[in-house]
Structures are given as structure tokens and as C-alpha cells.
Amino acid sequence: ALPPSAPESVVEHVLRARYGNLYALAGDIVDEETYLSIVRNNILMDVQGDDILLQIFSCNVLQRTSGDEAPFLEFIQRVCSERPDAATGERRRVKPGCGGFGIRNFLTLFLSIEVSKASKAQADSWAAGDAEAASHYARVVELFTAQLDESNPVLTFISDAVTAEGEALERGDLAAAARHEAEKVASQEALQHISSKYKDLMAALRQGRERLIAA
């Protein structure tokens, strides 16, 4: 959440970006009222095949003071889209369970936590008059953000391939299932490559700062 003292222009930009990102993900699958509810209730949303996945976080558990890291509860609900079943023409039934929450959101959650921590460290460094440390943490934020931007299209492709593979198996099309499995594996390897690249960049950044401090 933005602090109460945040400039109105910043608030407007963040809100516009939030709705824009959601619409880019789900399009017209949900209506305006649903979009408003998702943002107002801080619900994390992902699209997996024909379904929308909603992830709802509780307040932190065992958090004694604001800003402390603490465990939390999360609830996941799979919501079927309006698309009718190709065989029956009826609305598709809700699948049992969460079915494995969207891989994109797991990475987004992890990176957002790291970005938040680095942003706080950057602000603290500026407040302490440590320009070198502030520059370091700004670079950390930049790298995590770049990793997310590069990973997102690959994560979407993996999610779509997993869904397509499952649907092909359901209808007994083994050739199509094998093709989608190969696409999934290739995309997972591409994601590993991206992860390794940014891990190395982050390690080099950390080692460079350690050498600077030791000098």
C-alpha cells in the first residue's frame, strides 16, 4: 500500500498501472465491477487456460510490529470462465482444488517481496546519507524488475502449454499432448536460463559491493 503522504500524481499512476496490467492479463473475461473488487480487496489474479485464479492473502500471522516479516495465510479459488464446453455447449464446471496456482504469480510474489525489501533499503540508505548503498539497492531493484519483465512471457507460455497438454490428454489426442509437453519443457528450460542469468548478475553486483566495502 502507498503511504498517505504519497503525491496524488504517484497514486494516480500506480492505480492506472494496476488496472492496466489486470486488463492486459484477463481482457473482457471479467466485468468492470469484478476488476474494481479485485483491486480494492488486494486480490492477486492469474489466468490459466480458460480459468481465472484468485489468490487472497490474510493479514500476517504472529506479526508483532509493522514492517516485521511474518508468516501469512493464503486462500486460492479457481473460477471458471464463461466459455461453454465444446462438447456439451454448457458452461464449464469448476475444477476441484486450485490445480496448482499460476506459476507466474509465485515468481511475481517472490520478486515483489525482494523489490520491496531493496526499495526500503535504498530509502534508508538515502536517509543515512549513504549514496553508494542507495545506488547499489537501486540496481538491485532494477535487476529484479528486469527479471520479472523477461520471465513473464515465458511463464505465460508455460501455463498455456500445461493447460493445452491436459486438455489434449482428456480428449485422447496423444500426439497433441506430446507436442504441448515438449513446448512446456522447452519453456521451462528457457525460464531456468533467465533465472541463472539474473542470479549471476546479482552475485556479481553483490561481490562488487563487497570488494568496494573491503577496499
Query: Would you say the C-alpha torsion 102, 107, 111, 114 has a positive or negative sign?
Result: positive
Convert 127-142 to b/e letters by CB count within 10 Å (16 or more is b). eeeeeebbebbbbbbe
pLDDT at 149: 85
List of residues 6+ apart from 55 with CB closer than 8 A: 43, 44, 45, 46, 74, 75, 76, 101, 105
Of 144, 52, 145, the residue nearest 102 (C-alpha): 52
Q: Which three cell numbers stand for residue 136?
A: 547499489
Q: Which pLDDT value is given to residue 11?
A: 66
Is residue 66 classed as helix, strand or coil in its secondary structure?
A: coil
**What residue has cell string 473488487?**
37
Report mean pLDDT in 10-residue bins for the chain, 215 residues: 65 73 78 84 73 68 70 62 64 52 67 82 89 91 89 84 85 93 93 94 91 82
Q: What is the pLDDT of residue 199?
A: 93
**pLDDT value for 192:** 92
What span, in angstroms and rounded, lies between the C-alpha atoms of 178 and 186?
Answer: 12
pLDDT of amino acid 100? 47
Give residue limits of the domains in the chain: 1-101, 102-215
**DSSP-assigned states of every residue in 3-39:** -TTS-HHHHHHHHHHHHHHHHHHHGGGS-HHHHHHHH
Residue 67's pLDDT is: 67
CA distance 111 to 118: 10
